[in-house]
Structure 1
C-alpha cells in the first residue's frame, strides 16, 4: 500500500515540477469567505446525517474554500493543470490535490478535434459546474445539486480520458457532436456515502487524500455485521486492481441547446476489502440538458439513476436524483432557482441497516459582481428529507433543514 501511494505522489510531483519548469504558467486563485446561519442537526462535515454543509453548531464566519490553480503549455500540443484546495472542514490534509493532469490536443484533422487527458480529474458529468473556472464551483448557486454534491466528494477519474468533437462549422452542420471514453483506477469505495450517509446538497469538494467520517451507526462498529468496514472512508482508493470506465456523448446546437449522456461503471469487486475499505460495485446512467432561449434565460437539468452493491448483498441499493435550475439577470446581478429530488431504495439482506431515503430541496441564490475580482453571492436553502437510519443515532427520520449563506469571493 505504501509503495502504491508513493508512486502516486511521485507522479503528481512530476506533474508539478513539469509545470513549474515552463515559463508560460498561468496561476489563478479563489478565496471564498463565508457567513452562514443554519438550523440542521449534525451536518455531513460533522459525521451527521443532515443534508447540508452547515448546522446549528457551525461557526458563523468561515473560509468556504481557498484554491490555487495552475495551467501550463508544455509544448504546442501538450498542456498541464494542477489544482490545490483547502477549507476549514477538511478531515484529510489541510491542503489537498483536487486535480492534476496532462492533456495532449493534436492539431485538428478536418472537422474533428480530439484530446487525450491523463491524471486525476473530474469526469465530464455536470452542466451546473463551470469546468473552466477555478474551484469546480456551481455557476449560479453556492451549494451544488445532490448529483454534483456527490460527484464532488466521491467521484474522480484517476486514469485516461479520450474525447473527440466534430465541429459543425467545418462540416456545414448547425451542430457539434462529441464522444468521450474514460478508463480509471480508484473510486472503488464509491457508493459508500450514498448508502450510509445518503445524498447531500452542499459544496464540499473532496481531495485526493480525502478522509470522510461516517455517522456512528452499529453496522460497521466493532460488533457490527460489517465490522471490517472502517468508519473513515477514502473515496479514491484502489482496492481490487480492476479498471473502471465511462462512455458518453454530447450534442450542441451552438450555445442555445446542449445535450449530453454518460454511462459510468467502476467495475469494483464487492467481495474485496482492504485496509477497512470495501469495494462497491457502482454504476449509473446520467443525462443533462441546457437550454438558453431568448431573453437571457438559462434553463438546466440533470438526471441520474444507478445502483451500488457491497459484499454478498450485504448492502445493495438503487439511487436516483434529478434537478431543474433556472437563472436570469436581475438588476446588477443574476438570480437563480434550483429544485432537487433524490431517493435511495435498498434491497439487501441486512434489515438492521436501513438505507432508504427520500427528499427534495430548493435553493434560491443571487450573485452580485462588485469588481472584476470580487463578487458577493447569497443563497437560501431548504431541504426536507426522510431517512430511517437516523433513529440509529437518536434523531428523527424526517427532518427539515434551512440555511442562509453569504459568500464573498475573490478571484484572480
Structure 2
C-alpha cells in the first residue's frame, strides 16, 4: 500500500489544479443466462463468474481512467472500477507514474512505478480502458488468474530497439521489474483452481475462499489461514521480480516471453495469510497471416509452495484464439486447457484439477461509442475437492452473456 498512496495524491492534485487530465471510461451492462453451480464469488468451486442464481441483468463493470501529463516525459495514470459483485463500492485497478524520455538513437526506454498490470497478455488491449479482452467477454484461464491475483506494486523498466534504425525487419524489447506484495499469489490456484471469467480484483479487495476442511475451525490442519485473502499483500518483506523479452516483425508476428518469481518465504504467516512461493514461465505469440485474420496463443507453466510443503502445486494452462471480421462486427473463437497437480504432504486437502473451456464471441459496433458483444461459454472441469463442500466433482458450465458497452 505504500507505493500507490503518493501516486494517487500526485495524480489527484495534478488533475484538479492543472486541469490537464484526460478522462475516459467504460460502462458495461450485462444480461446473463447460466446453468453453472455455485460461483467462486459465492464461495463455490465453479469456474465462471455467473451461476444459475446470479442476477439476469447487472453492471458487469464501470471503469473511469484518468491520464495526466505531469511534464514533457512524465505522465500519471489512475484507474478506478466498480461492479455489483465488488466487495466495496469503488476500488483502484491501476495507479502509476510513467517516465518516457525522448529516444536518443535506436533504443526507446520507459520506466513505470506504482500499481499496474505486468505485460503478460495477448488478449488485452493495453491502450483501452479497463484491462478487458479485445474479442471476448470472458478472459482465458491465464488472464482470469492474472486479473485476480497478480499486480505489480513496484518499478518496471523496459527498453525497445527499433529495427528501422539498423535496417532490421524486427523490433526487439527487454523488461525487468521489482515489486512488493503478491506474497499470497498462488492461494486461489491451490484452493479454488483456475477460473474463466472477467472478474478483476481491486487494490484493496479481498477474496473469499470456499469452506474447505483444511482451514475450517475447529479441526482444520491450517487454522492460521483465514477464508478471506488479500491477493496483493506484503507478508515477508522481500522483493519479487520478473524479467522478459519480446520481438515484433511489424504487425505480422509478435512474440513474447516472461519469467516471474515472487521470492516469497512460504514459511511466514501474517494476519491470517500464509506466504506462497510462486513462480512461472510465460510465452505468447500473435500471428496475422493474411487478410484480417488474427491468431493468438498464450501458455503458462509454474509452481507454488506454502509452508513446509503443506501445499505444493504445479500448474499449467494454455489457450488459442482466432478472430476475423464477420459482417458488421468481429467473430472470435477461443479454446482453453488448464490443470493443477499437487505434490504435498496433505492428502486430505486435494488440489488436483483438469479442465477445458470454449468461448464463441461476436463484437458488433453500434452507433457512436456503443458496442454489443455476445458470448457463449462452455467450461468442463474435474476437481476432487468439490466433494468436500457437497458439490459434484465433475462440472459442466454453460452460459450466454450479452454485454452492452459504452466507452466515453
TM class, shorter-length:
over 0.9
Q: Which residue of 1 aligns with 2:41?
A: 45
TM-align CA RMSD: 1.0
- Contact persistence 2:7–2:95 (CA under 8 A): no
For residues 1-400 of structure 1, the aligned pairs below 5 Å read: 5=1, 8-91=4-87, 93-222=88-217, 223-400=219-396
What SS does the aligned partner of 1:219 have? helix
CA contact (8 A) 2:14 2:20 kept: no
Shift of 1:7: 7.4
Q: SS in structure 2 opposite 1:135? A: coil
Alpha-carbon offset, residue 53 of structure 1: 0.4
Partners of 2:233 and 2:177 lie apart in 1 by 17
Uncovered stretches (5+) of structure 1, i.e. residues with no partner? none
Q: Secondary structure at the match of 2:143?
A: helix
Q: 1:282: Cα distance to partner?
A: 0.2
User: Secondary structure of the equivalent of 2:146?
Assistant: helix
Post-superposition offset of 1:155: 0.3
Alignment check: 8 A CA contact 1:19 1:80 kept:
no
Task: Please state whether the residue corresponding to 1:349 is helix, strand or coil.
Answer: coil
CA distance in 1 between counterparts of 2:47 and 2:284 reads 23
How far, CA to CA, are the matches of 1:363 and 1:99 in structure 2?
27
By how many angstroms is 1:372 displaced?
A: 2.9
Q: Which runs of 5+ in 2 are unaligned?
A: none
Give the TM-score taking structure 1 as reference length: 0.97
| Structure 1 segments (4+ residues) deviating >6 Å | none
> How far apart, in 1, do the equivalents of 2:302 and 2:111 lie?
27
Taking the aligned partners of 2:14 and 2:111, their CA distance within structure 1 comes to 18
**How far does residue 10 in structure 1 lie from its aligned partner after superposition?**
4.8
Structure 2 CA distance for aligned equivalents of residues 205 and 340 of structure 1: 19
How far apart, CA to CA, are the structure 2 residues paired with 1:272 and 1:148? 27
Query: Contact 2:3 / 2:115 at 8 angstroms: preserved in 1?
Result: no
Aligned residues: 407
